Amino acid sequence: MANDKMMTQIRGKGGFIAALDQSGGSTPGALRQYGVPESAYSGDAEMFKLVHEMRVRIISAPAFTGAKVIGAILFEATMDGRAHNKSVPAYLWEERGVVPFLKVDKGLEAEADGVSLLKPIPGLDPLLDRAVTLGVFGTKMRSVINLASKTGIAAVVEQQFDIGAQIGRHGLVPIIEPEVSIKSPDKAAAEAILLAQLTKQLDALTEGRQVMLKLTIPEVTDLYAPLVAHQGVARVVALSGGYSRAEACQRLAAQHGVVASFSRALAEGLQHSMSDAEFNAKLAHSIDEIWRASVEKV
């Protein structure tokens, strides 16, 4: 069963979730943003070592605590890694007061019917067993919606909830993430369809079961208020989706009951070459800005 103290924090504490789960194809981009070009490493092993060092630097910073960062989403290799002689999940919860989550998806299928479904996730059950052993609270998996396709969006949401049920059987809380692309030519229409499909699946949940939702900040203010209030939802969090931190925070501040789960927007401006003092100050500023947008609503 999910840790009760973690659930209390995730459901009710003011703050946001840090997404530190870049993997595979997104890792070079994360390192470039951090000031590490592809010419600085050779092969996946060196690449993942560098990104792990970046993540440990972030979670070790003085401002990265449960006071404002209530949770963190990890890539599998990060979950299996170490931080200051502890497993990363144990370090996050025991030393920083931050609830650990695990990204479990293996990427996206090619777009069809206006959406990209999740690729198969081989070995999911053993991975979930390992996550439970390491003290992970929940998981995350990302699909993408590009067009306002009723059948495509229904397929995305159904797949997410089917896998979410498998995750729930391990005592973990799934974060359902059907991302609507900010480049969608009919983003508002896609979000309206998504709201209806999410509501349908949530209404069908077994009584007492809860999921989390990670959603693109919608075009219509408080569109997802019914989801925030739904008994089957532990928390609604927002992804930055490619918006700058300033724009993402401005949009988020108008969405009542929704908190951030930012990745690129959190790490924006952090550089490998910074001194620890510079790095920590920059990260503290980012954390404060995202925290305010999450808890101080307009």
Active site residues: 177, 214
Q: Residue 202's closest CA among 191, 193, 188, 213?
A: 213
Helix or strand run (H / E) with residue 249: helix 245-252
DSSP one-letter code for 91: I
Q: Residue 134's closest CA among 164, 97, 102, 168?
A: 102
How would you write 45-73 as a 3-class SS string? HHHHHHHHHHHHHHHHCCCCCCCCEEEEE
CB atoms within 10 A of CB 8: 11
| Residue 240 near residue 209 (C-beta atoms within 8 A) | no
CB-side exposure of 41: number of CA atoms within 13 Å? 17
Beta strands 69-74 and 99-103 are parallel
Check residue 249 and give left, alpha or beta (phi > 0: left; psi -120 to 50: alpha).
alpha
**For the stretch 73-108, what's the b/e string if a residue is b when 16 or more beta carbons lie within 10 angstroms of its beta carbon?**
bbbbbbbbbebeeebbbebbbeebbbbbbbbbbbee
Q: What percent helix, strand, coil does the chain show, rounded to 5?
A: 45, 20, 35
Q: Residue 174's closest CA among 4, 10, 9, 8?
A: 10
| Residue 257 near residue 235 (C-beta atoms within 8 A) | no
CB atoms within 10 A of CB 197: 19
